[in-house]
Amino acid sequence: MKKVVKFGGSSLASAEQFRKVGSIIKADPERRFVVPSAPGKRNRNDEKVTDMLYACQALAGEGEDFGAKLSAIRSRYDEIIRGLSLDLSLDEEFQTIEENLKKGAGKDYAASRGEYLNGIIMAEYLQFPFIDAADIIFFDEKGNFDADKTDKVMSARLESMDAAVIPGFYGSMPDGSIKTFSRGGSDITGSIVAKAVHAEVYENWTDVSGFLIADPRIIPNPVAIDTITYKELRELSYMGATVLHEDAIFPVRKEGIPINIRNTNSPDDNGTWIVESTCQKSRFVITGIAGKKGFCSVNIEKDMMNSEVGFGRKVLQAFEDSGISFEHVPSGIDTMTVFVHQDEFMDKEQKVVSAIHRLAKPDTIDIESDLALIAVVGRGMKSTRGTAGRIFSALAHANVNVKMIDQGSSELNIIIGVRNEDFETAIRAIYNIFVLIQL
Residues whose CB is less than 8 angstroms from the CB of residue 127 and which lie 6 or more positions away in sequence, other chains included: none
206 in a known ligand binding site:
yes
What is the nearest approach in angstroms of ligand ASP to the Cβ of residue 294? 23
CA distances from residue 2 to 19, 258, 261, 278 in whole angstroms, order as listed: 22, 13, 16, 22
Describe the crossing of helices 423-434 and 387-397 by its angle, rounded to 10 degrees: 130
**Is the Cβ–Cβ distance between 162 and 120 less than 8 Å?**
no
**Is the Cβ–Cβ distance between 3 and 11 less than 8 Å?**
no
What is the nearest approach in angstroms of ligand ASP to the Cβ of residue 6? 8
9 in a known ligand binding site:
yes
> Alpha helices of 197-247 — where are they, by DSSP H?
230-238
Nearer to ligand ASP, 119 or 330 (CB): 119
425 in a known ligand binding site:
no
Q: Which among 341, 418, 425, 327 is positioned nearest to 374, based on CA atoms?
A: 418
CA distances from residue 37 to 67, 147, 160, 209, 287 in whole angstroms, order as listed: 24, 21, 24, 18, 29
Distance, CA of 315 to CA of 338 (rounded, Å): 9
Residue 76, SS3 per DSSP: helix
Nearer to ligand ASP, 52 or 356 (CB): 52
115 in a known ligand binding site:
yes
Distance, CA of 325 to CA of 341 (rounded, Å): 8
287 in a known ligand binding site:
no
What is the nearest approach in angstroms of ligand ASP to the Cβ of residue 14? 16
347 in a known ligand binding site:
no
Distance, CA of 366 to CA of 345 (rounded, Å): 14
Neighbour count for residue 221 (Cβ, 10 Å)? 7
Strand runs (DSSP E) across 147-249, as ranges? 164-165, 170-172, 178-180, 201-206, 227-229
User: What single string gives the DSSP state of each residue in 411-439?
Assistant: -SEEEEEEEGGGHHHHHHHHHHHHTGGG-
145 in a known ligand binding site:
no
What is the nearest approach in angstroms of ligand ASP to the Cβ of residue 169? 4
Nearer to ligand ASP, 50 or 387 (CB): 50
50 in a known ligand binding site:
yes
Distance, CA of 259 to CA of 273 (rounded, Å): 6
What is the nearest approach in angstroms of ligand ASP to the Cβ of residue 47? 11
What is the nearest approach in angstroms of ligand ASP to the Cβ of residue 344? 24
Nearer to ligand ASP, 190 or 222 (CB): 190
In the complex, which residue's CB is closest to ligand ASP? 186
Residue ranges in contact with ligand ASP by CB under 6 A: 9, 37-38, 48, 50, 114, 168-169, 183-187
**Is the Cβ–Cβ distance between 236 and 290 less than 8 Å?**
yes
Residues whose CB is less than 8 angstroms from the CB of residue 247 and which lie 6 or more positions away in sequence, other chains included: 181, 182, 185, 187, 188
Nearer to ligand ASP, 109 or 169 (CB): 169
What is the nearest approach in angstroms of ligand ASP to the Cβ of residue 39? 9
Nearer to ligand ASP, 17 or 50 (CB): 50
Nearer to ligand ASP, 112 or 297 (CB): 112
Nearer to ligand ASP, 50 or 227 (CB): 50
What is the nearest approach in angstroms of ligand ASP to the Cβ of residue 197? 20
- Residues contributing to the annotated binding site for substrate: 50, 115
- Residues contributing to the annotated binding site: 6-9, 50, 115, 206-207, 217
- Residues contributing to the annotated binding site for ATP: 6-9, 206-207, 217
